[in-house]
Structure 1
Amino acid sequence: MNGSIAAKAPQGKGRTKQANAGDEHLFDRELVDLPPELRWREWMLRVEAVIFAAAEPVGRETLARVLGKDCSIDLLIDDLRAELRDRPYEVVVVAGGWQYRTRSRFAVSIRASQASTRGGAPALSDFEAMVLMAIAYFQPITRGDLSKIFGKEVSRDTIASLRSAGFLASGPRSPTPGAPYTYVTTKHFLAAFGLETLRDLPDIEALEDAGMLSRKGMQDEALDAAEGEEE
């Protein structure tokens, strides 16, 4: 009996692939039977639906799968943004794709409502937030180098917590003795904090020049945060 089940499994899988291929073939991207105005409108609705339904920012390649080959995605997004101008949410570029975000001026109202919201950054301890900020600015960076910045050991548990939240990934091996792993931030980090690329991080030298941040200050704040957690 096991043999017959095993024999049937690939056939079922093959039928599924054939069905998917059939769906792909039948899907009308070009909409040539519609007048230009209605065609554009349908493409806009498709883009809006895909971005709305997606759990992560939607890239250009994904949107192209539901649009005609001559459709300008950028112009379509511009028209969609114009249509949403008076709405409390908008389409923004984050992590190399498009995503719906509530406009910042409604943040106070949302917090006051105490409604459960989707997405966003999970709660981090003060020390985890400081470590994540250091990695974002100085990546790729080893755990040993992080410990030097903070003047105390950055534990594997802290790194594991940030990795579990989807903010960190392993970078290239360091050329230093022992070739330890380095750590880098992920696309999920960009999406969670509303950044299109790492270039959107505030310039650390400008922050230092303005007296808003210093590397020594980062170390002192991290030590205070770590001591608070220990207490």
Structure 2
Amino acid sequence: MSELCSLKNIIEAALLAADRPLSVEQLGKLFDERRRPSRDQVGKVLEDLAAEWEGRGIELKEIHSGYRFQIRQELAPWISRLWEERPSRYSRAFLETLALIAYRQPITRAEIEEIRGVSVSSSIMKTLQEREWVRVLGHREVPGRPALYGTTRKFLDQFNLRSLNELPPLAEIKTLGEPQIELTLVEGGLGKEDTVREQELPPSEEISAEPVPTPDEGLRKQ
């Protein structure tokens, strides 16, 4: 077995066994310092693996926290039938709040309410923070010092994004027409670091925060 083939097998096995995405640095640390591959070598192996798994039921996906093997998105409707639990359901208010935070962060609760024209339920803000999709980034220096909210690394991993730059343009986002939207969400990585980008969101825009599902749970349970 050649050195390159051995390196590829180790990295492939590590990604299949891991319960979280792995970065290039983390993959490199699998090896002793004397035989540790370079970033370029690890990157080449990842490119080769992605090509080898192309067209199969499982893909190698790069997200914010690193790389992971996951079930292809288009297969999620079939794979999800392996489990009896019902998919999570989120209200229009929940999705609009999440979308506003994602597109206009850092943003205060009062600013969200001003754009939506209605108050934001405390339970919505609590759920967003409990799921670790949203966190307090700081406080605005105005009377009362309201909290500034932004998305987290877990938000990016959950919605299959490498960065906030991969969020769809507002013009491409579908209008929320139904009061209740069903989303199939499967836990991805558990990274704690956050990332922030401030972007203007016209108050007239109606938006939805329908995410790209990350159906990697099927692979983890097999």
Q: TM-score, normalised to structure 2's length? A: 0.70
3-state SS in 2 of match to 1:218: coil
3-state SS in 1 of match to 2:22: coil
Per-residue Cα deviation, 1:134-188 (whole angstroms, up to 9, x for no partner): 1000111111111111111112221111111121111121122222111111111
1:49 aligns with 2:13: yes
Amino acid at match of 1:115: L
> Is the contact made by 2:175 and 2:206 (CA closer than 8 Å) also made in structure 1?
no
> Is the contact made by 1:96 and 1:197 (CA closer than 8 Å) also made in structure 2?
no
Larger deviation, residues 79-88 vs 141-150: 79-88
- Partner Cα distance (2:150, 2:29) in 1: 31
Corresponding residue for 1:103? 72
3-state SS in 2 of match to 1:178: coil
> Is the contact made by 2:140 and 2:147 (CA closer than 8 Å) also made in structure 1?
yes
Shift of 1:212: 5.7
Q: Could you say which structure has the higher helix fraction?
A: 1
Corresponding residue for 1:90? 59
Shift of 1:122: 4.9
Residue ranges of structure 2 left out of the alignment (5+ in a row): 177-201, 209-222
Corresponding residue for 1:177? 143
3-state SS in 1 of match to 2:60: strand
Corresponding residue for 1:144? 110
Number of aligned positions between the proteins: 177
- Partner Cα distance (1:162, 1:122) in 2: 13
3-state SS in 2 of match to 1:196: coil
1:58 aligns with 2:58: no
Corresponding residue for 1:134? 100
Amino acid at match of 2:165: R
> Is the contact made by 1:94 and 1:191 (CA closer than 8 Å) also made in structure 2?
yes
Shift of 1:80: 1.1
- Partner Cα distance (1:169, 1:56) in 2: 21
Q: TM-score, normalised to structure 1's length? A: 0.67
Which structure's CA Rg is the greater one? 1
Per-residue Cα deviation, 1:7-66 (whole angstroms, up to 9, x for no partner): xxxxxxxxxxxxxxxxxxxxxxxxxxxxxx532222222212222233332112211101
3-state SS in 2 of match to 1:170: strand
3-state SS in 2 of match to 1:195: coil
Among 142, 157, 165, the alignment partner of 2:131 is 165
> Is the contact made by 2:135 and 2:149 (CA closer than 8 Å) also made in structure 1?
yes
Q: CA RMSD in A?
A: 2.7
Residue ranges of structure 1 left out of the alignment (5+ in a row): 1-36, 222-231
Larger deviation, residues 69-78 vs 191-200: 69-78
Poorly superposed stretches of 4+, deviation over 6 Å: none
Larger deviation, residues 78-87 vs 187-196: 78-87
Amino acid at match of 1:136: A
Percent identical = 27
